[in-house]
């Protein structure tokens, strides 16, 4: 399995170094579908939106696509009218090299906000990028879209409908500026299934909600976030009724959850992956608010980094979430170690500290009130997070 190259039938990928990043690191990538594909996307809810987000939102209305061209090292955001003309130029270069209509090409950028894109470097690099397109090029693409990520993020899944196999393959980037508020990163998904545009769109929204909208690294949301999916139908497998759509949905969710998990795992400076599960709330919505507040608390996250079983910060964060809670009913567990019973500490700090040394564990908060539950993935907050973000542009 390890040596198997992840790919998706009917798609080609490549990545190269155009010179946007220092040290000749890869910074330009492209995905190409051999056939016109039904295409859907979800985009950042940030009011400040990069040129690529504005452009793609418009183009995706037609629901069709052939290619996505992505650069890292520069967000092309807050770059004025020039920003939009640069974003369009990127898609034009790709369209001309691929001999396809410009309107079927999408664009994404990620990196520093507010600096003009050195578009001439991209223009020069596109022909080589297209020449090296290959079914085996996904690892290069995934590397080319990285910013502070320390490893490329790829996931693939297969499903079966009427005895025939289809594939869903995704690549994502994201490490900082991550919080559960719409696709807080870049994610590109390819599938060879045949599915109606409306169903594809609904599937993607649902899968994003259960994956990228349930992770937090630092509470910041980017201006460039998006998730785009292209379904080119090349497998001949059709998701054409509720049952087969469900099969597809399941595979898509598994791939996105896997990518979301790797994003938190690669959270800037992170040393631990922690699942915050809240149960026994009056509603799922209440549970979600508490999970978000605990998972996003700097004090909780620094304690996790310090491997300190400081459950007081967890209960204090739950208390400020705005949800009505009974402190005398709360139970808190670290994996299976009972830390707090009826709002009072159990004195199991020694056992807890063994768990806190693990790379992955669960914080479970039971409000013992109702049936509402929710889950959010977070990471610890380390000295390196600050170092990475204090020196980001230098």
Chain residues in the site for its own copies (CB under 8 A): 45-49, 75, 77-80, 112-115, 176-177, 181, 218-223, 297-299, 302-303, 305-306, 308, 310-313, 315-321, 323-325, 327, 340, 342-345, 381-383, 385-387, 389-394
* Gap between the Cα atoms of 361 and 289, Å rounded: 20
State both tokens at 76.
């092309």
The single-letter DSSP state of residue 134 is: B
Q: Exposed/middle/buried for 290, CB within 10 Å: 0-12, 13-18, 19+?
A: buried
* 135-159 as b/e: b if 16+ CB within 10 A: eebbbbbbbbbbbbbeebbbbbbeb
Given the residues 184, 191, 262, 378, the one annotated as active site: 184
Q: How far is the CB of 85 from its own copies (least distance, A)?
A: 13
Q: In the complex with its own copies, which residue's Cβ is closer, 66 or 173? A: 173
Residue reference for tokens 């297969």: 158
Q: How far is the CB of 342 from its own copies (least distance, A)?
A: 8
What 3-state class would DSSP assign to 377?
strand
Q: In the complex with its own copies, which residue's Cβ is closer, 77 or 130? A: 77
Closest CA to 313 of 276, 358, 267: 276
Q: How far is the CB of 142 from its own copies (least distance, A)?
A: 24
Q: How far is the CB of 260 from its own copies (least distance, A)?
A: 19
The single-letter DSSP state of residue 266 is: T
Task: Judge whether 184 counts as a catalytic residue.
Answer: yes
Q: How far is the CB of 297 from its own copies (least distance, A)?
A: 6
Q: In the complex with its own copies, which residue's Cβ is closer, 93 or 334? A: 334
Count of residues in the chain? 394
* 61-73 as b/e: b if 16+ CB within 10 A: eebbbbbbbbbbb
Closest CA to 295 of 314, 309, 311: 314
Q: In the complex with its own copies, which residue's Cβ is closer, 251 or 365? A: 365
130 touches 97 (CB < 8 A):
yes
Q: In the complex with its own copies, which residue's Cβ is closer, 230 or 303? A: 303
Catalytic residues: 184
């Amino acid at each position: 399995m390890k040596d198997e190259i992840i790919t998706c039938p009917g798609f080609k990928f490549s990545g190269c170094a155009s010179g946007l990043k220092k040290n000749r690191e890869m910074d330009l990538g492209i995905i190409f579908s051999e056939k016109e594909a039904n295409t859907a996307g979800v985009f950042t809810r940030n009011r400040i939106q990069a040129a690529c987000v504005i452009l793609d939102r418009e183009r995706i209305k037609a629901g069709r696509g052939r290619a996505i061209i992505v650069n890292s090292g520069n967000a092309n955001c807050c770059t004025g009218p020039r920003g939009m003309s640069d974003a369009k130029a990127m898609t034009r270069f790709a369209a001309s090299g691929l001999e396809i209509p410009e309107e079927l090409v999408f664009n994404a950028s990620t990196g520093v906000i507010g600096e003009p894109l050195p578009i001439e470097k991209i223009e020069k690099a596109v022909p080589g990028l297209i020449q090296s397109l290959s079914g085996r090029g996904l690892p290069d693409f995934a590397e080319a879209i990285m910013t502070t990520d320390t490893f490329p993020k790829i996931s693939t899944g297969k499903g079966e409908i009427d005895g025939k196999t289809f594939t869903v393959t995704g690549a994502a980037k994201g490490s900082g500026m991550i919080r559960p508020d719409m696709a807080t990163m870049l994610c590109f998904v390819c599938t060879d299934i045949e599915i109606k545009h409306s169903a594809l769109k609904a599937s993607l929204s649902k899968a994003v909600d259960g994956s990228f909208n349930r992770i937090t690294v630092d509470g910041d949301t980017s201006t460039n976030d998006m998730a785009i999916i292209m379904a080119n139908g090349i497998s001949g497998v059709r998701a054409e009724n509720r049952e087969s759509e469900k099969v597809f949905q399941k595979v898509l969710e598994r791939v996105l959850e896997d990518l979301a998990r790797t994003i938190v795992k690669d959270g800037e400076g992170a040393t631990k992956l922690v699942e915050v599960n809240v149960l026994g709330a009056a509603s799922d919505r209440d549970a979600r608010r508490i999970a978000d507040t605990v998972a996003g608390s700097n004090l909780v996250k620094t304690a996790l980094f310090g491997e300190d079983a400081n459950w007081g910060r967890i209960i204090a964060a739950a208390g400020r979430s705005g949800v009505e809670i009974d402190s005398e009913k709360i139970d808190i567990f670290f994996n299976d170690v009972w830390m707090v019973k009826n709002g009072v500490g159990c004195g199991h700090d020694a056992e807890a500290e063994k768990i806190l040394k693990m790379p992955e564990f669960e914080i479970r908060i039971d409000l013992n009130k109702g049936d509402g539950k929710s889950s959010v993935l977070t990471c610890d907050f380390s000295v390196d997070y600050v170092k990475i973000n204090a020196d980001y542009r230098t």
